[in-house]
């Protein structure tokens, strides 16, 4: 059997622009994100299901048996049968962020499952090709546009600037001290779930229809993301904070669903406790919140945000992963036992 842990991601600036063809309308678009040490952990067990079937289990849900006919509605079937068409294996989700967390969990799951399938099949696929394939498979399941920013942290780890250019994205690994970022980063799950696909679709449709308000806001988001990159490269915490704050001001104007009174109250509490900036992760509307803070105010900001949040809120990890998807493979040992070998997927 194999296990893969794929990091979730936190996006500092430039989300939504990674949806094709939005970045084509806004030259110079860039998305800034980082891989979180926590994410999605998947175990794949060969011969764990009948031939032509996949047995899927996840925390808190009963097992389900999937066939190729389920690929249009279930991401496990879409990814699993794409890489191992004969099926005959089990997929156990051992760890995952909360549903609707805004941390790219579904894409991290797709990466983890794809890496596990590729390991079993003794195959490799270059990262850009794998991202393009997983993006399209997930879009088919969701029946909504999907971007690329969630896959790269899961695959590569670290802090990334994804330059969204005609013909394909260019991924820049930012040479920043991840410890420096961790000291200034706080990620809080708000307890408010959201449907990112619906929020993104509202923005997507408005921009394609030529909504001048949405177009102007996306221009500002692209500019804020560029400023965020410059601030990170200069290790200027206050500059990064100004960029994240500017991004959130522009993002709130994209669609009414991006923010709500409960979300605003949590952000306001964090700012009052000393944060330089606060914003919803991903499409917004709920999920997790990012606070960019002076290091000495980090604990106070987290406490204030949690006090303002509904039941079920908690501090998600702000620890970053320098590496992407990590593979562990069970190999036979003496007397029928097994050991796990760890390597980068």
Assigned domain for 335 exists: no
Summarised one tens digit per residue, pLDDT across range 43-86 is 999 999 999 999 999 988 899 999 999 999 999 999 999 999 99
The CATH number of residue 170's host domain is: 3.30.230.120
**Per-residue DSSP letters for 115-180?**
HHHHHHTT----HHHHHHHHHHHHHHHHTS---STTHHHHHH-SEEEEEEETTEEEEEE----HHH
Note down the domain range covering 98.
Answer: 2-316
pLDDT at 342: 55
Q: CA-CA distance, 169 to 36, in Å (whole number)? A: 21
Element holding 306 (H helix, E strand): helix 298-308
Strand, coil or helix: 78? helix
Provide the number of structural domains found in the chain. Answer: 1
Give the number of residues written for the chain.
Answer: 345
Assigned domain for 329 exists: no
Q: CA-CA distance, 307 to 315, in Å (whole number)? A: 11
pTM: 0.93
Summarised one tens digit per residue, pLDDT across range 286-345 is 899 999 999 999 999 999 999 999 998 999 999 999 999 999 887 544 444 444 555 555
pLDDT band of 97, cuts 50, 70, 90: very high
Distances from the Cα of 68 to the Cα of 49, 86, 89, 120, 270, angstroms: 13, 9, 13, 19, 47
Assigned domain for 327 exists: no
Which residues touch 106 (CB under 8 Å, ≥6 apart)? 75, 138, 150
pLDDT at 332: 47
Q: CA-CA distance, 277 to 268, in Å (whole number)? A: 10
pLDDT at 333: 42
Assigned domain for 334 exists: no
């Amino acid at each position: 059997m194999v296990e893969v842990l794929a990091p979730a991601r936190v996006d500092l600036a430039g989300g939504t622009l990674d949806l094709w063809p939005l970045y084509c309308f806004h030259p110079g678009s860039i998305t800034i994100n980082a891989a979180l040490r926590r994410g999605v952990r998947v175990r794949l067990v060969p011969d764990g299901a009948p031939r032509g079937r996949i047995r899927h289990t996840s925390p808190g849900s009963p097992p389900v048996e999937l066939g190729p006919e389920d690929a249009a509605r279930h991401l496990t079937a879409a990814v699993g049968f794409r890489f191992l068409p004969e099926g005959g294996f089990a997929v156990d989700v051992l760890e995952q962020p909360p549903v609707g967390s805004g941390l790219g969990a579904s894409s991290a799951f797709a990466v983890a499952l794809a890496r596990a399938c590729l390991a079993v099949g003794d195959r490799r696929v270059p990262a850009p090709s794998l991202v393009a394939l997983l993006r399209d498979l997930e879009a088919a399941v969701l029946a909504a546009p999907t971007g690329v920013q969630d896959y790269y942290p899961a695959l590569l780890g670290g802090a990334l600037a994804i330059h969204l250019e005609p013909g394909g994205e260019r991924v820049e690994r930012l040479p920043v001290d991840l410890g420096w970022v961790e000291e200034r980063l706080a990620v809080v799950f708000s307890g408010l779930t959201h449907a990112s696909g619906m929020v993104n679709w509202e923005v997507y449709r408005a921009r394609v229809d030529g909504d001048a308000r949405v177009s102007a806001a996306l221009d500002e988001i692209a500019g804020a993301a560029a400023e965020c990159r410059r601030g990170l490269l200069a290790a200027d915490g206050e500059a990064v904070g100004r960029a994240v704050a500017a991004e959130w001001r522009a993002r709130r104007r994209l669609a009414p669903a991006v923010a709500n009174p409960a979300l605003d109250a949590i952000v306001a509490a964090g700012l009052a406790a000393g944060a330089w900036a606060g914003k919803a992760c991903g499409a917004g509307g709920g999920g997790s919140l990012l606070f960019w803070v002076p290091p000495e105010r980090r604990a106070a900001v987290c406490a204030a945000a949690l006090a303002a949040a509904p039941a079920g809120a908690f501090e998600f990890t702000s620890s970053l992963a320098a590496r992407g998807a990590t593979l562990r493979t069970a190999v036979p040992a003496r007397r029928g036992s097994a050991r796990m070998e760890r390597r980068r997927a």
